[in-house]
Amino acid sequence: MRSGRRRRWWIVALVAVVALSAGGWALYTRARPYLHGSGCEVRTALGKMPLDLDQAANGSTIAAVAVRKALPERASVIAFATAIQESHMRNLAGGDRDSVGMFQQRPSQGWGSPDKLRDPVQSTSKFFDALVKVKDYLDLDLHDAAQRVQRSADGNAYAQHEPDAKVLAQAFGGRSAASVRCWYPPNKRTDPRRADAVREMRRAFGSRLQVVAPAAPDYDAVRAPNERTGWAVAAWAVTHAQTFGLSEVRFAGRHWRASEGHDGWTHDAKAPATTVIVR
């Protein structure tokens, strides 16, 4: 009798453990999307960098404008190092004296109106327009090229950011595939504004970026003239997903989902190589 009761107790205990484990796993599964908070990470063969959502969105915009202007990667490296030094790659409302925006450009020095300089697309475009006027800028040391554009108090400060700038240029510029991931919890998701996202994307990359009529109305297909540009577009979409309520991005055999953003890009054999699918 005692052995029978002991056996029953073991069975009850085992059932209880299994039930608790199952309940714990179910609770973890529900809580998991909230555990990581919000953020982004850039990872290439050169290294990795953590970013917040705003920094990542600004980074992808710098790369997009470089694509629109058909600039070499070195130009993007100079821009990234400058933006890191001036604002930590944030679109600041103000700064030293009348400086504003990512590059802390000053209206009083002829850069333009404060409203335009607070627009990441326009401020980046103005930076590149000034950079390409610097004679032999591609052959200059980074801090020298940046200083000739910015004319800041300490031009040597830009040099320290060159390694990070190279990581960002490779990832956001598309040379390193599937290198940008972002995540945020369900309570931070926003209502879908895919049409606005596509308009803003084309404003950054330029009107030559073609949006193909999709086979279904629940997504947009952005034509990728080459794989590198395709990954730059995909990175832009991922970094702007929270702002525009995008739920997934697919390209070149990879898939990113907002619901599993921290997992990054997963394999997707059906993801096309010629268009970036944005939902």
Nearest one of 121, 111, 95, 113 to 201, comparing CA atoms: 121
Q: How far apart are CA 135 and CA 60, in angstroms?
A: 26
Question: What are 189's two structure tokens?
Answer: 């998701």
Under DSSP, the state recorded for 100 is B
Q: What is the pTM of this model?
A: 0.87
Q: How far apart are CA 141 and CA 198, in angstroms?
A: 36
Q: How far apart are CA 258 and CA 184, in angstroms?
A: 8
Q: Which residues, including other chains, have CB under 8 Å from residue 17's CB and lie 6 or more apart?
A: none
pLDDT at 96: 77
Residue 229 has pLDDT above 90, yes or no: yes
Q: How far apart are CA 166 and CA 7, in angstroms?
A: 65
Please report where in the chains the tokens 């999709």 appear, as a residue. 214
pLDDT at 11: 60
Q: Which stretches of 36-157 are DSSP H helices? A: 53-68, 73-87, 114-117, 120-131, 142-150
pLDDT at 24: 54
pLDDT at 21: 52
Beta strands in the chain (DSSP E): 39-44, 47-51, 180-183, 211-212, 220-223, 248-251, 254-257, 266-267, 275-278
Residue 30 near residue 24 (C-beta atoms within 8 A): no
* pLDDT > 90: percent of the chain: 78
Q: How confident is the model at residue 27 (pLDDT cuts 50, 70, 90)?
A: very low
- Mean pLDDT over 188-200 rounds to 96
Residue 243 has pLDDT above 50, yes or no: yes
pLDDT at 47: 97
Please report where in the chains the tokens 């950011």 appear, as a residue. 161
Would you give the distance in Å from CA 78 to the centre of its chain?
A: 18
Q: How far apart are CA 254 and CA 209, in angstroms?
A: 21
**Which pLDDT tens digit goes with each residue over 146-177?**
999 998 767 789 999 999 999 999 999 999 99
Residue 215 has pLDDT above 80, yes or no: no
**Which pLDDT tens digit goes with each residue over 89-125?**
999 987 777 889 999 999 988 899 999 999 999 999 9
More confident residue, 1 or 160: 160
- Mean pLDDT over 200-227 rounds to 91
pLDDT at 136: 97
pLDDT at 273: 96
Residue 164 near residue 84 (C-beta atoms within 8 A): yes
Question: What are 69's two structure tokens?
Answer: 């202007």
pLDDT at 159: 96
For β-strands 39-44 and 47-51, DSSP reports them as antiparallel
Name the average pLDDT for the chain. 90
